[in-house]
Structure 1
Amino acid sequence: MFDSIVDYFSGIDPILAALYAGLFTWGVTALGAAVVFLFKGVNKKLLNGMLGFTGGVMIAASFWSLLSPAIDMSEGESFEKVMPAAIGFILGALFIFGLDKIMPHLHVNFKKAEGPKTSLQRTTLLTIAIALHNIPEGLAVGVLFGAVATGSPDASIAGAVLLAIGIGLQNFPEGIAVSMPLRRMGLSRRKSFMYGQASAIVEPIFAVLGAVAVGFFLPILPYALAFAAGAMIFVVIEEVIPETQQDEHSDIPMLGFVLGFVMMMVLDVALG
């Protein structure tokens, strides 16, 4: 089945492929958000374990799918070879850091809103927080499909498809992590679902932007791959891992993290 998916994506325009991949990751988020129609709540330990899994997948994907190819495709030796990845990584982290400062948002633990003061409702602030989280994921998918379009030997359609699948899998608990807290805040199931799925609408948008950018500006490719990696790792450290450490049972999310990391690493090396 995986080979059939790869063959299909190999035969279509890379920008269209990036759009489809982004729509897939958005759709899996919507599936996670739809859990609100089935259950009144989700066990906090289970949710933390799934969020830990999310962090593991994101960090493994950041290295195996993005940073390593960025370094391999850079020219030169020694410091010259690694500098594009280093610069792109720093810029990616600073990009999300800057968005964190200028965009009002509220993390899942609901303790305090971040960013500028605003009159926006908490539901909107939570959705913005997860949307910020999803921007680098969309970029990562788009940039990798764009890299394949350039003919780079260090990027493959299988690797791009696998990255989309990995991000899709970890988006499922993200959808739950938005819709369930909103339901507990008193929103209807329908509104909780709508906010939950809306948090990932940025992914197909930024997937297309990433693919287009690489297609027009080929020299930025290693910088763009590392940029997406830096943004993703910033999100994991600043948001995902802290969210799992709010309770006493921090061992469950850590085990989830290890499982997510190993799964993404094995799949990427074996299939990508």
Structure 2
Amino acid sequence: MSDAEWTAVRPLLPMPAWLRGRGGQPEAHCHRAMLDAIRYQVDNGTKWRAMPADFPPWDRVYAFFRRWRDHGLVREFHDRLRGKVREKAGREPEPSAGVIDSQSVKADAVVGADSRGFDGGKLINGRKRHVVVDTLGLLLGVMVTSADIGDRAAAHVLLARVAAAYHRLALVWADGGYTGRLVEYSLTVLALVLAIVKRSDDMRGFVVLPERWIVERFFAHLMRSRRLVRDFERSTTSAEAMVYWSATMLMTRRFARPRPSRA
């Protein structure tokens, strides 16, 4: 992180237990060094044991990653940062509209058969990332499943999580793969309007569809993180944590970017 990024995000970091009088010992390495090490891991896709010597020992970095994953600290940090980025853009901290979609990616050999599958539509053997983003393309929720899980089945769970976390959320755009009973379920159970944006039958070639391009841009950002080009994580919880870390990298750059002059 640059100095400007660190200055912006430092107040948003979860406070360690020992600073809150809840016991434990002070950490041996500062949070900036740990965050930089994990960001390097996500951005460059190296093995944990191949962590450069400039960073803390790899096992300490992995322990930090695992602790933040298991206790939900990476999502807490991510959500705080997203609220600040939205406020800087002149939006409410909590969104009222979003976009849902999925992305199938090949799985590495370390991914077990219990969490991988074959996506017949994309012809990919691996996992599928189901995400909901807001209208700025910032992540609201992610769920990683085997690639053979249908979009509608995963959306039942993911939309319920997102609706419970963001009470202002009232509208979600989706593609034609989310039609059917899911639309009625979203309206009657979750109080969400699921608006289907379909591609016209007479369209040829690449066409930018309203609202749906926002989530496609988010997927393009994930593909810039080498750790996410394939799914290298042994567990789906680690895969979801990697998506959150990649999203925080996108937001710290936005948050620390100086506002354009109106002169």
Q: Same fold (TM over 0.5)?
A: no
TM-score (norm 2): 0.27
TM-score (norm 1): 0.27
The structure carrying a bigger helix percent of its residues is: 1
The structure carrying a bigger strand percent of its residues is: 2
Q: Which structure carries more relative contact order (alpha carbon 8 Å, separation 6+)?
A: 1
